[in-house]
Each structure stands twice: as C-alpha cells, then as structure tokens.
Structure 1
C-alpha cells in the first residue's frame, strides 16, 4: 500500500486553437476579457477569466504541441462548449447581444431550459461554441467566480 498523496485536481487553462491569432485577440479583447502576459505578443494570448485562464494559440502550433494532426479540422461541433455563467436572464440577454455586436455568430437564441435555467449560444471567429447561461444551483459571485450549490 502506498502512502503517496495524489495531486490536487484542477482545471487552470482552456486553450483554444485559432486560425487567425490577431482576429481572435481582437475578438476577446472586444468582449472585455482582461489580457495578461502581453509580452507574448501574438505568439499566444492569455486572458484572466476570474478563476481560470483562457488561452489562444495558433491552431496548427497547438496541434503540433500536443502531437495531434492539424488536419482534418472539424467543420462542425467539436464536443466542447465554453460557458459564460450569468446572474440573471437579463444578463444572459445582455451577454448575447454584446457578443453578437462584437462579431460573434448566433448559434441559438436565448431561451428557457428544461432544468429551470435560461441560455443561448454564440460562436467565436473559429466556431468555438460559447453558452451564456443562468442555471439553478450555479451562482456567479462579485469575485467573478462560479459558486456551485452542494
């Protein structure tokens, strides 16, 4: 039997492979995310999202870094969504309108969910799907962090 202490699990960074790093930086800057480590210039971009980090990295370089093929690139749903949790239905509507105004593509207009929430979907310039959502049991604090009910 081992007395080894397992590492503490944590999700710290979500890195998106992007086709045009300049356009993606402009999009996420326009959404108001706070870019950090700007010394990386356009090689990679990091954004403080309030508890985790969103990274942007050229798609082909990210694939190479992970030893994965760059082609074929998926033309449709990748099986992953990112969430922008909100405090109210009104905030969901405001986030959707704001993102669309900054160049996001509408995937699904905000509507009621079967679990008592409210959500809509938009896509960034590379088609990465974002959900703007308010959901029971998930609160967003003043610290911008998500707090889950027990």
Structure 2
C-alpha cells in the first residue's frame, strides 16, 4: 500500500535573529516600537509582534547550538539575508531611517531612488543584521501594518 504525502500549507511564522547581547537587543527593538509579547520568557528569548511574522531574538551561541551550527567564526560580512520595513511614502522611509539611527542603529546606506521605481535605504541593528527601509511599487502597507502585494 502506497501512502500519499499530505502537502503542508507553506507559511513563514517566525524570523529569529541571533544576538550577542540579548538585554541590549531587547532595549533596541523596544525602542524601535515593536510590541514585545510573551514577556514571561524574560531574557531567554524575546518575541515581537511585527504585524506579520514574529520577530524573535535569541542569544547567538544558543541559536547556533540549537541549529547544530558552529558558533564561530561569526560572519563579519553580508550574510545573504536582509529584513525589510516597508513604508507607505518616501517621507516615511526617511523618518524610519532617522528614527532607527537615533535609537542606536548604524546607517548602512542612505535613502535613494531605486532602479525599480522605489525609494530605499538600509540600517543595521546592534549585531549587524541589515534592515531595508523601503517604499516599492506593487507593495502597499495597509492600516493593519501588513504588506499587500499586487497580483
């Protein structure tokens, strides 16, 4: 008898960032205005409501161990991944970049016109995780804070 595999429903639910100093990273993401949930976890792990997938912060060495990956050497260059903070307007992009830098982020690339008709810039968090702040054609941000993609 051949068993048919049930195809699971694909979904991205949590993005976990490995961080060097959980206390400092919690303070940083709190200061950006993300809403922390499940605070009972203390400083073991932090979960944030982002209006979409959950953002989690977890100590770098423990995250590496959990994934059965080496803790060292830690990458000091681009890791092949960015996070994005989509905005409604170009003015909002500028405001978010300035706000993040004021809260301790490092400006990686100033906001600029993109070749696809958008407007974007980059900052990095305390551990160098790059965030793109962007307004892009075909991607709208609703009142629910979720992105809505054109067909």
Q: TM-score range by the shorter chain?
A: over 0.9
TM-score, structure 2 normalization: 0.97
2-side partners of 1:127 and 1:121: how far apart?
A: 11
The 5 A counterparts of 1:60-75 are: 60-75=61-76
2-side partners of 1:30 and 1:108: how far apart?
A: 21
- Deviation by residue 1:61-98 (Cα, 9 ceiling, x = unmatched): 00000000000000111110000000010000010010
1-side partners of 2:117 and 2:148: how far apart?
A: 17
- Deviation by residue 1:7-29 (Cα, 9 ceiling, x = unmatched): 00000000000000000000000
Match of 1:138 in 2: 139
2-side partners of 1:68 and 1:3: how far apart?
A: 33
The 5 A counterparts of 1:1-150 are: 3-150=4-151
Q: CA deviation at 1:2?
A: 5.7
Aligned residues between the structures: 150
Query: Which 5+ residue runs of structure 1 have no aligned equivalent?
Result: none
2-side partners of 1:81 and 1:2: how far apart?
A: 39
2-side partners of 1:148 and 1:23: how far apart?
A: 34
1-side partners of 2:4 and 2:26: how far apart?
A: 46
- Deviation by residue 1:93-138 (Cα, 9 ceiling, x = unmatched): 0100100000000100000000000000000000000000000000
Query: Which 5+ residue runs of structure 2 have no aligned equivalent?
Result: none
Cα RMSD for the two superposed structures: 0.9
User: Which secondary structure state, in structure 2, belongs to the residue aligned with residue 142 of structure 1?
Assistant: coil
